[in-house]
Structures are given as structure tokens and as C-alpha cells.
Amino acid sequence: MTSFAARIKKAFSDMKVHRKLIVAYVLTGLFPMCLMFTLFYTQMRRVLVEREIKNLQTTFDQAVDDVNTELALHQSMSDYLAFDQTIVQIIKAEDKNSFEAYERMVKEFDPMMDSLSYFYPEIRQSTVYVRDFVIPHGTYLRPAQEIENDEWTAPADNDVHWYADMDQGTVTMVRSMPLIDDGKGGFLYISMDYSKIFGSMELAVNEDYGVFVYNEDKEVLYENQKMTRNAKYQMEFSDFQKIQKKEKQNTANYILLEKEIEQNGWHAACYLPKKGIISPMQPILLIVLLMWAGCVLFSAVVIMRFSGNMAYRLEKLKKTMAEVEEGNLEVEMVSTERDEIGDLTRGFNQMLSRIRQLIQEVYESRIRQKQYEMTALRAQINPHFLYNSLSLINWKALEIGSDDISKATLALSRYYRTSLNKGKNTMSIREEIDNVRSYLQIQEMFHDYSFTVKMDVAEDILDYRTLNLILQPLAENAIAHGIDRRRGSEPGVITISGRRDGDCVVLSVADNGVGMEQEKAQTILTEKSSGYGVRNVNSRIQLEYGEAYGLSIESEPGKGTKVTVRIPGVEKEVQA
């Protein structure tokens, strides 16, 4: 297997550049395009199906809720009539042939029944049927014997019974009137417009669909088959029951939705052919396929046409680079083209010129880096002897009660511990602050506490990484060239501060010494400066982090000098 892979790799390596471009096009262009096309089609199909299922579910649920609301509204209205005392008194009146009974019928009973059709235009008939003898009064009051042979029967309980007749286009509600007793029991019959009750079942969707409403006996009460594009998917209710079983096994080609009409226990069901969802995507798929084929053909022509030209120019550039690798830095190419290869050629020429310029600078910077490492190495030769000696001096000072000597010894010990830093080139800002603090404590004693030190370093930067010994030379310079040369009775102050600035950490050492002209301050970091300590810190920072970082100096005669250090904010401690 390894040898086969090696042969493939060698064969590819030996190909001409323009053939490699063709292979690269097939692997990185044609194959991803095929994969993207497949993923696009699959994702579009999935999203489309999910979207349509969600839309259909929302629309269907709303339609069923609307039917349930209509039924609940009419049942609530029937509650009012079934328990109305006026109707009960009129029906139970002893003398039904009297003028008074007729007058109550016309003035009270008729307006009450008329109001139903006025407020509910979908009501076709509203009638109170009485089992006992009753004088018929229009369609509002009839003897029960008239409907004894109808398909529905008078209820024997106090429940509300619902019937639907697709042929007659009616939905009927029948319920008993329990307040009519003593052998004069009656019941209320209300017939409503079929299309009004089931009007919401005309779903507002564009796809082909079918809707059934059926009762507990599996009798179809309502049916709506909307198949404008795929009539072959229309089915009978018996077929619908069969795919219900398949749907439970997840083998059907339909989307099925079901919901109970809570008001009367009917069931509503909706089905949608899955192919009806996918078919609208076919034109889009064809367009994408044609676009894909066109892109493949166009790309093939372009890659064949220009690969030879590109290969020739790249080969020429390669030969020139080979000469440079052999040590000939004086070679130069000529290019008049303005494309990327032409820019690369001109950039190559500029790079050679820059390389020649930087060789000396890089060589010198490497020498300086080695010098820094050698200095740190020499400092590590025997640090334990120094620490033990300082510790002995500290104990001797404590024995004779000389606190100043003990304090100076401890400060000097801390200073050298952080300065040597176990030979590492970096430390945390916390350790760098401890180092400069120990140094300044010793300097305060040397200067008989003629100046004070202020620390203003943000807590959130103390664990960031920094080069070691970058603040001590700045503090030393502030004392030697600022504090020691000042005049007047006002005490000297050295301020050490630190904070975050975006992705950087900014440290500063400021003094209120004699200061200098800003023009002179700007020359301190240059080769013209006679001072080496500050310039050395700046060189180390730029060598480690790049020229975007380093020192900047602000100064004003008589007011002091401030040196600012900018380094990148690196939280994790990194070993040098």
C-alpha cells in the first residue's frame, strides 16, 4: 500500500504544471461541485418537505379549531333555548287553544326563534319537537310524531347529538329539553348549513391535498379532495384507512395529519402526497443541473487554454529561484505583465533587493541575540552562592538589629532572583513588577529616600507574559537622568503603571525629573544615542515581537519624562 501511494505521488510530482492544474481542477473543482449539487438537492428536498409539513399542520390545526369553534357556538346557543323558562311555560300551558296562549306564542316564542336566523344566518331550521299533544306553530313548534321515521331519533339522554348529511348539505344538532317534564318532554332540533360549518376545511394551501371528517363509526361526514395537479393521488376513505396503517410503519408515500374535533368527538384527517411537494422543485433542479454542466465545460476550456501559459512563466520563475538558492543574489527577472504572476515576478525582484539589504541587519541582530543569551548564561553560573551569601548577611543583620541592612539584603536577593529568572528569557508581568520594585527599594536607600515610588498596575495584566528586565533599565535611566539632576525642594516621584489597550499591554515608567526637549527624546532609541540601556530594551522587544511593538518616549523640560512600553497581550506563560 505504501509503495502504491509512493508511485502515485511520484507520478503526480513528475507531471507538467499544466497537467497538474487539470488534475487539481478535477479534484478541487469538479468533485466539490458534484458534491455540492448533491447536497443542495438533498437539503432543498428536506427543507421543502419540512416547510410544507409545518405549513400544512398549522393550516389544518386552525381549520379544525374553526370547526370546533362553530360547533361550540351553536351548542352554547342551544343551551340558552333548552333551558329557557319562557319556552317551557308556553309548551307546558294547560289551555293551548286560548287567545292568551296564542298571543304569548306570537309575541314571545316567535321572536326568540326568529332571532336565531337573524344572528346565525347559517341556521336552516330550528324546531322544538314535543312528544305530548301540541298545536303545531309554523316550523318552530311541531309534534314529535312528524319525525318518527327519520334516520335520527329523539335523544333519550341530556347529551347533545350531532349529525351531518353530505347529500342534503346539513349539519344537525339534536338535544333534549330537560325542563319539559310530566309526560310533555321535548327536544330541540337545529339544522345548519353544511358549507358554513365545514367551510374552514377548504385549506389555504397550494399543494394537492385531501380532507376527511368522520365519526366514531368510521362514517365519512365531510370530504374534500383537491387534486389539481396530481389527480391520480385522489383516494377513497377506505384507501385512506389503509395508508394510515402504513404511516404507522413509516412506509407510506403520504404525509398524514389527524386531529379530534373535541366538541362532538368527530375526527378530522388530512393527507398530502410527498411527490406533490417534490414536483415543483424539478424545474429548479434542471436549471441548476444545466448551470453546473455549463460551468464544468467553461472551466475545462479555460484551464486548458491558460495552463500552458501559466506553466511556462512559472517554470521560468522557478529557474531563477534555483539560481538564487545556489547563492546568486544578483539575478533579476523582467516582466511586463500586470497579472498575479507578473506581480509575483516584480515582487521577487524587490524581495531579492530587500534580502540583500536585510542580510547584514539580520546577521547583526542574531549576534546581539546570542550576546543576550550569553549574558543570561553567565548570570546563571552560580546564583545559589549569591543567594546563600545574601541570606547569611540578612541573618547577621537581624542578629545585630540592623533592619536597614536586612531590608536592603532582602531587596537585593529578590532583585537578582527575578533578574536571573532561572535562565529564562520571559516572565510574568507580576514578576517583572516585583523585580523593578526590589530595584527601586535599593535605590531609595542609596538616595536616602529622596524620592518616592508609585505603583499603578492593573490586576488583570499581572499574569501576562513579558520579556524579563525591561522595566529596570527604564527605572535606572529615570533616576540617573531625571531624579538625580532635578533641583528644588519638591520630592522626586517615579511612577510605574500598566494597563490593557485592546490586544496589547502598555507599561510605563515616568519621573518628574529635569526632562528634555522632545526632539532629543526621539533620538534616544536610535543608533545616534549614546545611551545603551533603553535602546537595548527596545531592540529586544522588537526582536522578540516585531517592529509594531517597543518603546516610545515623551518628555518636556522641567516636567519630567515618560517611557511607554507596548507589547502583545499573551496570557499563557511561555518558556523562552
Mean of the per-residue pLDDT values of the chain: 78
In this prediction, residues 125-139 reach a mean pLDDT of: 78
Please check whether residues 248 and 336 belong to one and the same domain: no
Average of pLDDT values for 70-86? 84
**In this model, does residue 403 exceed pLDDT 70?**
no
Where in the sequence is the domain holding 267, given as residue range(s)? 10-316
Q: Are 444 and 550 in contact (CB under 8 A)?
A: no
Residue 190, beta-bridge partner list: 126, 173
Please indicate whether residue 402 or residue 544 has the higher confidence score (pLDDT): 544
What mean pLDDT is predicted for residues 495-502?
A: 93
Q: What is the mean pLDDT of residues 85-112?
A: 75
Mean per-residue pLDDT, 402-422 = 68
Based on the domain organization, do 247 and 147 belong to the same domain? Answer: yes
Does 2 map to a domain? Answer: no
**pLDDT above 90: percentage of residues in the chain:** 8
**Does residue 396 form part of some domain?**
no
Q: Identify whether residues 117 and 264 lie together within a single domain.
A: yes
Residue 502 confidence (pLDDT) above 60: yes
Who wins on pLDDT, 455 or 208?
A: 455
Burial tier of 541 (Cβ tally within 10 Å: 0-12, 13-18, 19+):
buried
| Relative orientation angle of helices 340-379 and 282-325, to the nearest 10 degrees | 60
What pLDDT sits at residue 183?
Answer: 46
Looking at residues 415-430, what average pLDDT do you find? 72
Last residue of a domain, one of 357, 376, 395: 376
For cell 292568551, what's the residue?
A: 100
Same domain, 145 and 262: yes
Mean pLDDT calculated for residue range 318-322:
80
Least Cα distance to 555 among 517, 529, 523 occurs for 517
402 part of a folded domain: no
Would you place residue 16 in the very low, low, confident or very high pLDDT band (cuts 50, 70, 90)?
low
Say if residue 279 is in the same domain as residue 364.
no
Res 160: pLDDT: 86
218 and 341, same domain (yes or no): no
pLDDT band at 567 (very low <50, low <70, confident <90, very high): very high
Q: Which three cell numbers stand for residue 94?
A: 294547560
Least confidently predicted of 10-19, 170-179, 221-230, 530-539: 10-19
Number of domains in the chain: 3
pLDDT at 550: 92
* pLDDT at residue 275 is higher than 60: yes
* Rounded Cα gap, residues 193 and 222, in angstroms: 13
Q: Is residue 47 part of a domain?
A: yes
Confidence of residue 575 (pLDDT cuts 50, 70, 90): very low
pLDDT of residue 496: 94
CATH number at residue 487: 3.30.565.10
Query: Is 370 found in the same domain as 289?
Result: no
Taking residues 131-152, report their average pLDDT.
Answer: 72
Same domain, 16 and 165: yes
321: in domain: no
User: Considering the domain boundaries, does residue 406 fall inside one?
Assistant: no
Is the pLDDT confidence value at 25 over 60? yes
Q: Across residues 373-378, what is the average pLDDT?
A: 54
- Kindly state whether residue 417 falls inside one of the protein's structural domains: no
Average pLDDT over residues 498-527: 88
Go through the chain and tell me how many residues it has: 576
Reply yes or no on whether the pLDDT at 153 is more than 70: no
Same-domain check for residues 334 and 311:
no
Alpha-carbon distances, residue 80 vs 73, 86, 174 (angstroms): 11, 11, 14
Q: Is the pLDDT of residue 250 over 60?
A: no
Residue 398: inside a domain, yes or no? Answer: no
pLDDT at site 245: 67
- pLDDT band, residue 511 (cuts 50/70/90): very high
Q: What is the largest CA-CA distance in the chain?
A: 137
Q: What is the pLDDT of residue 576?
A: 42
Distance between CA atoms of 364 and 444, rounded to whole angstroms?
A: 38
Do both 253 and 367 map to the same domain? no
What is the mean pLDDT of the segment spanning 236-241? 72
Please tell me the predicted confidence (pLDDT) of residue 299: 75
Alpha carbons 196 and 67: distance in angstroms, whole number: 9
Residue in 154, 162, 224, 209 with CA at minimum distance from that of residue 186: 154
Distance CA 244, CA 250 (A): 10
Residues 366 and 436 in one domain: no
8 Å CB contact between 273 and 233: yes
Domain identity same for 119 and 246:
yes
